[in-house]
Structures are given as C-alpha cells and as structure tokens.
Amino acid sequence: MNIMINNISAEQIGEMLEFEGKIIVVNHSSPLIVKGLYKCLDCMANYEIINNKLDNTIKSEICMDCGSNNIKFISNQSKYIDSQEIILEDIDDFVDKYGRKRSPKTIKCIVYGKDVNQHVKNDIVNIKGIL
C-alpha cells in the first residue's frame, strides 16, 4: 500500500514501505563498495570484509590472522556497485489535520545498480524498500 511521504516516520524504520514521489534532486552516481579486500603487509594474509551498511565506511583496523595493524586496502580487487542519491517529495499538496496547506516533506533515497542514472528531476517514481 502506498503512503504519503509526509506520513513516513521514525516508527517505521526497518519496515517495508511503498510510496510515490516527485524527484527534486538527483545527485551524481558514485561507486559503493560491497566487498573490500585487505592484505596484511606483515603476514601477507588476504581477507574480505562485506559491507552491510550500504555506505563506503568499511575499514579493517587489524589483521584477522596475526593482529597487525599494517593493513592495506586492495581497491582494484574489491567489489563495487553503482549508487545514486535522489531526493523525493510528495506529489500531492499536504494538508495538515487543521486544514492548512503545508510544504511537502522530502525523503532521501539511495538507488543501486540498474536504477542508477535512470531518472531526472521532476520524474514521478514509485519506491518500494525498507526504511
């Protein structure tokens, strides 16, 4: 069931939502690391760290084998996907419970893979995902 962006709240974090909105901002696409490969320069062990947070902040501080902090990120052997941030607002005017017209609320969404670079400002899109 579609809900209005204005009705999305923090209480719905972790829930599957579906909503429609008008794109008001489309940012440049960028690579998102999904699996980082690291090499310990002391024991020469290689290991991977999976990025479950969907941001580019995965980092290894110490070697998982020997405990050394002499670690190197191997960018050309890590795995990436394309990502892009878009900002949406409600299509319809928002009227509060007192009948006053309000500015539409916005929501930031991140699209991945085949959905990157597919939309422009003012496109109407249907989003289904976990908040």
Distance CA 42, CA 44 (A): 6
Q: What is the pLDDT of residues 100-125, one digit of tens each?
A: 877 788 889 889 889 999 999 999 99
Q: Which range marks the domain in which residue 102 is found?
A: 2-29+83-130
Same domain, 14 and 51: no
Residues 6+ apart with CB under 8 A from 106: 5, 24, 87, 88, 89
Q: Could you say which residues of the chain have pLDDT below 70?
A: 1, 53-58, 94
Same domain, 25 and 87: yes
Q: What is the pTM of this model?
A: 0.70
Q: What CATH number corresponds to the domain at position 20?
A: 2.40.50.140
Distances in Å between the Cα of 93 and the Cα atoms of 4, 35, 75 are 10, 42, 46
Structural contact between residues 121 and 3, judged by C-beta atoms closer than 8 angstroms: no
Same domain, 76 and 88: no
14: left (phi over 0), alpha (psi -120 to 50) or beta: left
Structural contact between residues 119 and 31, judged by C-beta atoms closer than 8 angstroms: no
Same domain, 87 and 76: no
Same domain, 20 and 36: no
Q: What CATH number corresponds to the domain at position 65?
A: 2.20.28.10
